[in-house]
Structure 1
């Protein structure tokens, strides 16, 4: 098993990561002990230590799994179209769907960055950069085909855009005023009005 492979049939790893994510979300990474994780998983501390040397290793693995899940989500979403504009639109919705799914792993990924130090932090930054390269590729394609204004800084746009989307996790409530599709459509409308080249402005309605 490589570190961040999808969970698949590894039921013990799945149980550990989802249980630890729930505890990290409820009590915070710093206040949750390895002993508490082991107890919640019905494992002896030594058995948990056999798989993960330290609590930080659990955090790194769950963050890696969450990033991989997000990458898979947008990859599947854009696979049905070759239109670069519609790929970005589909990827936006997929990111929102994963982010606001209520998954504890994704929540921990967003809010426990400060808990990582040294090599662990560098590892997750590499994984994050891998995800952001997916977006960079899509946005660069838009610019190369002159579908967006040439004065748009795609790097800055990506940083601001993903930051705004990730902040939704702080206010979105399942069953609340807005559905995920409504949020995605509203976001696409706002973004497309700001970046599309004038000759392609009508594409935001498709």
Structure 2
């Protein structure tokens, strides 16, 4: 298990968020080319203070990824609980996933594209966290299949893998100043689901 401290990043320095600065530098320079000293300088703090809390870059990267997974999980759970209608729940959860992923594009980039930098133990931890999040989607989709909202002949696991893959890929091309908002993109993905896998009798 990677050693990490749970002290909130906001307490680590007077200027800036350690995790946000780390994510920005990891994206701009790459994980391998970014030093803990550079992260400390970006936060206007002494390197020793950062070393005290994160004894390696990998520990910091794992914490960054863990918080990213926690954020997405909380957003989707909140969206799911906000409606009793199963079809509307799906739309809300899709949009919640997209919003959570794109709250901080630097952190999203690191979460999605810096997995290769993790050692075996750290990778095992992050995969476990990823699996916990995906189990939330597995439960949502399997419940919809059991209720007959999603057609019985749809493979829930395959739907989850393809669906999350499509949602995550939005982070690579979404332009906040572009023609389409996140909600518009999410609603289009939801409409594709409605046309493709939702039972006709329950469509809104």
With structure 2 as the length reference, what TM-score do the two structures score? 0.90
Q: Greater CA deviation, 29-38 or 75-84?
A: 75-84
Counterpart in the other structure of 1:177: 179
Counterpart in the other structure of 1:155: 157
| Structure 2: stretches of 5+ with no match in the other structure | none
Q: Does the 8 Å contact 2:108/2:171 carry over to 1?
A: no
Give 1:4 deviation, angstroms: 8.8
1:125-160 deviation line (CA, Å, top 9, x unaligned): 111111111101100110111111111111111111
Give 1:180 deviation, angstroms: 1.1
Secondary structure of residue in 2 paired with 1:31: coil
Question: How far, CA to CA, are the matches of 1:145 and 1:4 in structure 2?
Answer: 43
Question: How far, CA to CA, are the matches of 1:146 and 1:6 in structure 2?
Answer: 45
Q: Does the 8 Å contact 2:154/2:197 carry over to 1?
A: yes
Counterpart in the other structure of 1:85: 87
Question: How far, CA to CA, are the matches of 2:5 and 2:141 in structure 1?
Answer: 26
1:95-152 deviation line (CA, Å, top 9, x unaligned): 1112223442222111111111211011111111111111011001101111111111
Name the CA shift for 1:36/1:6 in 2 (closer, same or farther; >3 Å).
closer
Matches within 5 A, 1:17-28: 17-28=19-30
Question: How far, CA to CA, are the matches of 1:191 and 1:140 in structure 2?
Answer: 15
Counterpart in the other structure of 1:67: 69
1:11 paired with 2:17, answer no
Give 1:73 deviation, angstroms: 0.9
Aligned residue pair count: 200
Q: Does the 8 Å contact 2:10/2:18 carry over to 1?
A: no
Question: How far, CA to CA, are the matches of 1:42 and 1:5 in structure 2?
Answer: 20
With structure 1 as the length reference, what TM-score do the two structures score? 0.90
Give 1:20 deviation, angstroms: 0.7
Cα RMSD (Å): 2.1
Counterpart in the other structure of 1:109: 111
Question: How far, CA to CA, are the matches of 1:58 and 1:135 in structure 2?
Answer: 27
| Structure 1: stretches of 5+ with no match in the other structure | none
Q: Greater CA deviation, 191-200 or 114-123?
A: 191-200
Question: How far, CA to CA, are the matches of 1:4 and 1:154 in structure 2?
Answer: 37
Secondary structure of residue in 2 paired with 1:43: coil
Question: How far, CA to CA, are the matches of 2:6 and 2:160 in structure 1?
Answer: 26
